[in-house]
């Protein structure tokens, strides 16, 4: 378990706010130990720091009321979506009130002609796509977990489709948010571009709840492609697979997904998903377009892969086969756990320029071997982002220490390669030590913005900046 320092608690203020909110929200205000620990839950090795209470608002006005009373008494506010974040984002190191937006789960508006929609923050990406399916539309950002769209905006999430469709920062047109004093703002309209003032939408996207609580999101949508094709290809080495990815990007092939799986991950998928894939590094791909274009894209990729020694290349437009392949990819976390029963999977991510991806992944594999750590790797190879899932015996203090050293080393290596310590997980508590290494004096500008917008320091304290 990785411990983070608690922050000073405002006991008097917390006690007062608990009384006010209990009276206001009744059964939608909870202080039970189990529910508080659930909302301090983190899916990594960072210790649980539960809030003092959990409130379930049903409207923007209720969120504004909660934040206003917390601001009056200087009590922390911690926004909560579905709790799938990986760096301690929902912990409450100074106690306070968790604002769970799961009851704010309505799709408010779909403008099919403009390819956009407006949703409340508790809508999950799967729920949105179910709502859109009969309209021939979909929302492309897919982080794997069925996360809430408010949480995805807050952490600037991305995922397997980012190489073609971008990340949350590219797909959020505007936001409504409750700021630290309870004021409600809108950051933009539905226009596809604007030169009107500061880009507050991009400022809020990725701010991890440290500036305000997102209460509505206006999102770009895509038309469901006429045709999709999935493909897989095996390679003798990670280096050969990464060279193929570079060739694909430089060629301009519009792949929708291009995922790298190392040999350990392929072995895990074979066991868990009952597949018979060659247990060597592999690329999984998806192509979107017309019937003719996806066939052409698949053929071009096959030729590029062959030049790098790719073997066993297969492509399919069969929905059943495609779903089987991508379900196996999305089940990789559970599959990897089977490689070492009883171990905890500690996921971390970095992102580097695509030209350095092979160097970084290769170094990560060698370092894991040197430290005697089991560290399967999957990557969103098309944008240079990869995840290492360390399989750790949490009862072995020496192994935990080696794993912590590995994560620190990996962040430093990525930064040295002109990359980032996090491609999509965010900073939270876990990555704070690396932010200044990466951005230097720019962090002081962030601190200034935080102090200006949240002078009492109540918005998700202890995350990103301190």
* Cα 162 to Cα 170: distance, rounded to the nearest angstrom: 10
The verdict on 231 and 375 lying in the same domain is: yes
Q: Are residues 265 and 370 in the same domain?
A: yes
Which of 56, 81, 102 is the C-terminal boundary of a domain? 102
* pLDDT tens-digit series, residues 406-462: 999 999 999 999 999 999 999 999 999 999 999 999 999 999 999 999 999 999 999
The answer on 201 and 306 residing in a single domain is: no
> What mean pLDDT value characterizes the chain?
95
Q: What is the sign of the dihedral through the CA atoms of 216, 219, 224 and 229?
A: negative
- pLDDT value of position 339: 96
From edge to edge, which strands make up the β-sheet containing 377-380? Answer: 311-316, 227-234, 282-289, 255-261, 377-380, 385-392, 344-351
Q: Domain count for the chain, please give it.
A: 3
Give the domain CATH number at 39. 3.30.43.10
Q: Which two tokens stand for residue 158?
A: 């991305």
91 and 130: one domain?
Answer: no
Q: Do 389 and 275 have their domain in common?
A: yes
Contacts of 321 (CB under 8 A, 6+ apart): 230
CA distances from 94 to 49, 209, 271, 399 (A): 9, 15, 43, 30
Contacts of 176 (CB under 8 A, 6+ apart): 60, 184, 185, 186, 187, 214, 215, 216, 217
Q: At what angle do helices 11-25 and 60-72 cross, to 10 degrees?
A: 150
- Let me know if residue 197 belongs to a domain: yes
Asked whether 252 and 182 are in contact (CB, 8 A), the reply is: no
pLDDT at position 6, please? 80
Which tens digit of pLDDT belongs to each residue from 137-174? 999 999 888 999 999 999 999 989 999 999 999 999 99
Return d(Cα 388, Cα 216) in angstroms, integer.
33
What is the Cα–Cα distance from 51 to 36, expressed in whole angstroms? 6
Q: What average pLDDT does this structure show over 15-23?
A: 98
In a domain, 463, yes or no: no
pLDDT tens string 242-290: 999 999 999 999 999 999 999 999 999 999 999 999 999 999 999 999 9
| pLDDT attached to residue 45 | 85
Residue 433 lies in a domain: no
Q: Do 127 and 147 touch, CB atoms closer than 8 A?
A: no
CATH of the domain at 198: 3.30.465.10
351 neighbors 422 (Cβ within 8 angstroms): yes
Same domain, yes or no: 141 and 73: no
462 inside domain = no
- Name the DSSP class of 282: E
How confident is the model at residue 462, as a pLDDT?
A: 96
pLDDT surpasses 90 at 37: yes
Across residues 318-345, what is the average pLDDT?
Answer: 91
**Domain edge (last residue) among 102, 132, 153:** 102
- Position 1 scores a pLDDT of 66
Instruction: Let me know whether 233 and 305 are in one domain.
Output: yes
Q: What is the pLDDT of residues 118-140, one digit of tens each?
A: 999 999 999 999 999 999 999 99
Q: Is it the case that residue 95 has pLDDT exceeding 90? A: yes
179, 192, 230, 323, 396 from 40: Cα distances, Å: 22, 37, 38, 34, 24
Indicate whether 176 and 209 sit together in one domain.
yes
DSSP labels, 100-147 = E-TT---EEEEEGGGTEEEE-TT-BHHHHHHHHGGGTEE-----SS--
> What is the percent of the chain where pLDDT is above 90?
92
Name the band, by pLDDT with cuts 50, 70 and 90, for residue 64. Answer: very high
CATH of the domain at 229: 3.40.462.10
pLDDT at 428: 95
Question: Is residue 41 pLDDT above 90, yes or no?
Answer: no
Based on the fold, state whether residues 163 and 292 are members of the same structural domain.
no
Q: Residue 274 — left, alpha, or beta (φ > 0 → left; ψ -120 to 50 → alpha)?
A: left
- Please state, in angstroms and as integers, the Cα–Cα distance from residue 219 to each residue in 200, 205, 209, 463, following that order: 15, 12, 19, 26
Q: Decide if pLDDT at 44 tops 80.
A: no
CB atoms within 10 A of CB 95: 23
Q: How far apart are CA 315 and CA 304, in angstroms?
A: 14
Rounded Cα distance between 465 and 7, Å, is 13
Q: What is residue 42's predicted lDDT score, i.e. its pLDDT?
A: 64
The reply to whether 89 and 129 lie within a common domain is no
Which range marks the domain in which residue 58 is found? 11-102
Element (H, E) at 452: helix 442-453
Same domain membership, residue 239 and residue 289: yes
Whether 450 maps to a domain, the answer reads no
The four Cα atoms 298, 302, 304, 307 give a dihedral, to 10 degrees, of 180
Left if phi > 0, otherwise alpha if psi is -120 to 50, otherwise beta: which for 7?
A: beta
* Inside any domain, residue 453: no
Report whether 324 contacts 230 (CB < 8 A): no
Is the residue at 96 inside a domain?
Answer: yes
**Residue that terminates a domain, selected from 426, 441, 460:** 426
For residues 178 and 261, membership in a common domain is answered with: no
pLDDT in tens, 365-407: 999 999 999 999 999 999 999 999 999 999 999 999 999 999 9
Residue 451 forms part of a structural domain? no
């Amino acid at each position: 378990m990785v411990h983070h320092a608690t922050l000073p608690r405002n006991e008097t203020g917390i006690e007062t706010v608990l009384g006010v909110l209990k009276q206001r929200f009744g059964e939608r205000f909870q202080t039970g130990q189990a529910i508080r620990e659930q909302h301090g839950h983190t899916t990594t090795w960072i210790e649980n720091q539960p809030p003092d209470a959990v409130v379930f608002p049903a409207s923007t006005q209720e969120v504004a009321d909660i934040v206003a009373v917390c601001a009056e008494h200087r009590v922390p506010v911690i926004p909560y979506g579905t709790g799938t974040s990986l760096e301690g984002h929902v912990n409450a190191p100074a106690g306070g009130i968790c604002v769970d937006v799961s009851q704010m789960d309505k799709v408010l508006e779909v403008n099919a002609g403009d390819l956009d929609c407006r949703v409340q923050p508790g809508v999950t990406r799967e729920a949105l796509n179910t709502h859109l399916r009969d309209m021939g539309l979909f929302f492309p950002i897919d982080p794997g977990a069925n996360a809430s769209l408010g949480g995805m905006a807050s952490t600037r999430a991305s995922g397997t489709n980012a190489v073609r469709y971008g990340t949350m920062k590219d797909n959020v047109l505007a936001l409504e948010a409750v700021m630290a004093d309870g004021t409600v703002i809108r950051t933009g309209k539905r226009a596809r571009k604007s030169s009107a003032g500061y880009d507050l939408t991009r400022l809020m996207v990725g701010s991890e709840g440290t500036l305000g609580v997102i209460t509505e999101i206006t999102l770009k949508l895509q038309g469901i492609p006429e045709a999709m094709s999935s493909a897989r290809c095996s390679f003798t080495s990670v280096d050969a697979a990464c060279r193929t990815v570079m060739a694909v990007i430089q060629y301009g092939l519009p792949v929708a997904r291009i995922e790298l799986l190392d040999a350990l991950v392929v072995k895990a998928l074979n066991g868990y998903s009952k597949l018979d894939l060659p247990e060597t590094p592999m690329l999984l791909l998806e192509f979107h377009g017309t019937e003719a274009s996806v066939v052409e894209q698949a053929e071009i990729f096959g030729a590029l892969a062959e030049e790098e020694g790719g073997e066993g290349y297969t492509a399919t437009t069969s929905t059943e086969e495609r779903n089987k392949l991508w379900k196996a990819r999305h089940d990789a976390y559970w599959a990897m756990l089977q490689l070492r029963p009883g171990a905890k999977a500690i996921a971390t991510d970095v992102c580097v320029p695509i030209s350095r991806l092979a160097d970084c992944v290769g170094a990560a594999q060698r370092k894991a071997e040197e430290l005697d750590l089991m560290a399967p790797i999957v990557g969103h190879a098309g944008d240079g982002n990869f995840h290492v899932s360390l399989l750790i015996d949490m009862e072995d203090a020496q192994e935990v220490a080696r794993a912590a050293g590995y994560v620190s080393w990996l962040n430093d290596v990525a930064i040295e390669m002109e990359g980032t310590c996090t491609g999509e997980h965010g900073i939270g508590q876990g990555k704070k030590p690396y932010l200044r290494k990466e951005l230097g004096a720019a962090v002081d500008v962030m601190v200034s913005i935080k102090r200006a917008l949240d002078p009492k320091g109540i918005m998700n304290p202890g995350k990103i900046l301190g």
